[in-house]
Structure 1
């Protein structure tokens, strides 16, 4: 990971054919403010992606999956997204949202439509384009079934 791109580790967390997503804060200057995205974040210097995703899930929602599996890696001009997947084995009310505006379980139909209602925001919010693409690929391949 010695190139100039930002490396992040993100997780597709699934439960009963739904996918846990975070409604990102509506703060100017962050990527995809006010959009639904997958949980995860920057890989720290010297950290491997597999460790980073566990750390990020603990920090963001106080969740440690029973196992985390590699799904794929997505590259664009600025970011390398190391994508993992794991089952969500707890109810939403057992998670603690420490980062973001809202969270929710989205159906494949909502992912395809590219938006989901947030009660906290009081409106429909779009999915971030890279996160929607990752989930659509994941749904198509069904590595969780």
Structure 2
């Protein structure tokens, strides 16, 4: 019997021409350990994706998503269905509190194309999660943000 995929809600948070990303903890038993990814997480039982993404972003970085948050798309595979939302990041990086992950930063479109970004905390260049990179490349192609 095949296992049902996990549903998660993640957010593309953009500021000018940069995107807020989380450097995931370097723990071997999580998906993409030590990779850059988008903020978000599991959708709880009975929760809708739009409610989940707001809760997850608040839990992970202490940021209340603006009312302008909207669904960007859905990316699914055998193990994970990612409900992707988009919203502008309306505060400075130093106003956010990283409660989950190793590091966070505003990643440039060049770094997204290269698939890697330097982390001050890790002290090295770390790769972007392939799915997260694809989502951001799709987002940039659509030209929704004013970058």
TM-score range, shorter chain: over 0.9
How big is the shift at 1:77? Answer: 1.2
Which residue number in structure 2 is paired with residue 141 of structure 1?
142
Structure 1 unaligned spans of 5+: none
**Aligned pairs (5 A) from 1:48-87:** 48-67=48-67, 68-87=69-88
How big is the shift at 1:144? Answer: 2.4
Tell me how far apart the structure 2 counterparts of residues 113 and 72 of structure 1 sit (CA, whole Å). 23
Which residue number in structure 1 is paired with residue 128 of structure 2?
127
How big is the shift at 1:94? Answer: 0.1
Tell me how far apart the structure 1 counterparts of residues 128 and 89 of structure 2 sit (CA, whole Å). 20
Aligned pair count reads 143
Q: Establish whether residue 108 from structure 1 lines up as the match of residue 78 from structure 2.
A: no
SS of residue matched to 2:51: helix
How big is the shift at 1:142? Answer: 1.6
Which residue number in structure 2 is paired with residue 118 of structure 1?
119
**Aligned pairs (5 A) from 1:14-25:** 14-25=14-25
Superposed CA RMSD = 0.9
How big is the shift at 1:61? Answer: 0.1
CA offset digits 1:42-86 (Å, max 9, x no partner): 000010000000000000000012121010000111110000000
Tell me how far apart the structure 1 counterparts of residues 142 and 10 of structure 2 sit (CA, whole Å). 18
Tell me how far apart the structure 2 counterparts of residues 87 and 97 of structure 1 sit (CA, whole Å). 18
SS of residue matched to 2:131: helix
**Aligned pairs (5 A) from 1:86-105:** 86-105=87-106
